[in-house]
Structure 1
Amino acid sequence: MKTTKKAVVSGLAMIGTAVLLAGCGAAPESNGASAGAGASDYLPCMVSDAGGFDDKSFNQLGKEGVDAAAAELGSQDPIEVESQSETDYASNLQSLVDQGCSTIVTVGFLLAPAALESAKANPDMQYVSIDDTVDQDFDGTTDAENIKPIIFDTAQAAYLAGYLAAGVSKTGVVGTFGGINIPTVTIFMDGFAQGVEKYNADNGTSVRVVGWDRAAQDGSFTGGFEANDTARQTAQAIIDQNVDVLLPVGGPIYQSAAVAIQDAGREIALVGVDADVYETDPSVGELLLTSILKGIDVGTKDAIVAAGNGEFDASPFVGTLENDGVGLAPYHDWSDRVPAELTEKVDALKADIISGAITVESYLAG
């Protein structure tokens, strides 16, 4: 597992600079794949990762993007299928091919191998890959010309969240855990840890991060993205180390973390990922310090609208703080507990990351 992850990170790192430029630059010319006969004949489709479309996170955001695009285009109603496990990926993709989909959106790093196989077998179809570059041979380029990657340098926004978390922590211990040890999960944890390190350097403090060792690239993981007792126990083990800010990374696992926080009977702030969880799941709103945002819905909508208008563009898009592809959600119920000077510092750090004065390390930054 560690060898595979290192290979993935190495391959993805090679494309970091080029992808960032593609994400910030002017839209390249279309590659001409399946221009289509018009929006009324256009059929957008989507395959979820195992979290499902009601995960209040990246699967749900992707679906919202596809639905919004279909509504704007006046296209056929999207066909959207949920995967219960990794064994469903290939068959779900084939079912969409068989139903004559124009563009197929796949959600998540784990779907990339099946997406690539399907794309190569159907070169006249269009594919959009959320959260993965589909570079299975690690040569620095997407492995099929009919796949558009939509990826996010979430380490930048997570850096801000880590600084914020260290600043509000009263115990001097913050924590994080993930679903699976893969780059699209650990990029959050890396950024979060770097933000804590920056806070300590700026303030002469020694706030600790529990659950992730950035040097070893290893930490606490549940083994999946389900909200279950394993996720609750993982969160509890971290909370038991005197943590008072907790970042769960992996779709619905935040729900199990919320249960563990409520069971703890003391003030522990929750940090959401992907969506503004305060808005998508008000049941945990009072716990949320902020959420680390990924513009999955916007990026997906833009890609599908372009494809539906015959302007499919396979160039990778990467979300950054500069292009608002990633960011921090409002502090909502925590607003009056975050000192004004801390908010000002977080805003200043955002500006420094955008200007290049601060470089946040990630596999997408090179």
Structure 2
Amino acid sequence: MSLIRRQIEEREALNLAPAATRSSESRGRARPEEECTIRVAFQRDRDRIIHCKAFRRLKHKTQVFLAPAGDHYRTRLTHVLEVSQIARTISVALRLNGHLTEAIALGHDLGHTPFGHAGEAVLSELHPEGFHHYQQSLRVVDLLENKGRGLNLTWEVRDGIARHSKGRGAILPPVTADSDLLPATLEGQVVRLSDIIAYVNHDLDDAVRAGLLRDDEIPRHLIERLGATSSQRVNTMVCDLVQQTLAGGGEQLTMSPEIVAAIDELRTFLFARVYENYKVHADFFKAMKVIRELYQYFLAHDDHWQKSVNYPEDTSRDRMVCDFVAGMTDRYALDLYARVFLPKPWSVL
């Protein structure tokens, strides 16, 4: 049966672009293990991520809008799936390793907190060592899953997860100047860029659906440059990236300056009109209070809290509480807050 895996590896060697990452050339795992007879290493990583508990919890974690009532708003899970689809399309067109790309994309947000970046901001304030969701994503796959054993992913997938975040930094930082900020593989860099392509489009779409924006408020020159609909804009960005990268030899991801500038302007527009909108922030201030008080409560109390991870003996209580709170879904955090802090009605005995 192992012949099947070797055949897949041989096809990768023949068909992938020179700059692509071959499964057979992976730097390996922290704990060596017997290879699968059918799947290559990056396929196994993808499957481990999809089947882990942290991945399932993403369906009840905020993307932009807190606990939206409508069924069509994005959650953290649907965001991850959209990133994966965009990234795989790009990778196939560039003849990169689609298995590696998909694994990184599906795992890149496993460490996100409840209530999106509002939760991240609170934990960064409360935890003595600070908090970043991309570091927590790595912590999830290295330690927190499987009761302290982690998922034992390959080095390349872990690198892509750890370096996917860009905040409001450059969309395409120069490799020579900021290579330490970029994933080591082109597949990881594709995921990093696909993350931006996904969220500037689906967050804009959700903002219009929520009534925060009207279509006619989107800057006209951005519509003319990128497209009038979400699908048109995604297609413009993806096609430009593929065409420009191939024209440059395929060794480095490249986009035309006009498209990069348009994406950057669209991202700035979203920060001003959506992410920092007072209507969105009003509920996030309440959510931040929930996270803050839960964190402080569990520092002082063990009730309601059962540690499901076999931590090393020197792990601080702050660290364990941070992991516990960060792993919550929005609805679990709200339900737990009600159980801990709100009075319960008396029942008739």
* Structure label with greater radius of gyration: 2
Q: Which has the higher strand share?
A: 1
Q: Which has the higher contact order (CA 8 A, sep 6+)?
A: 1
TM-score under structure 2 length normalisation: 0.29
TM-score (norm 1): 0.28
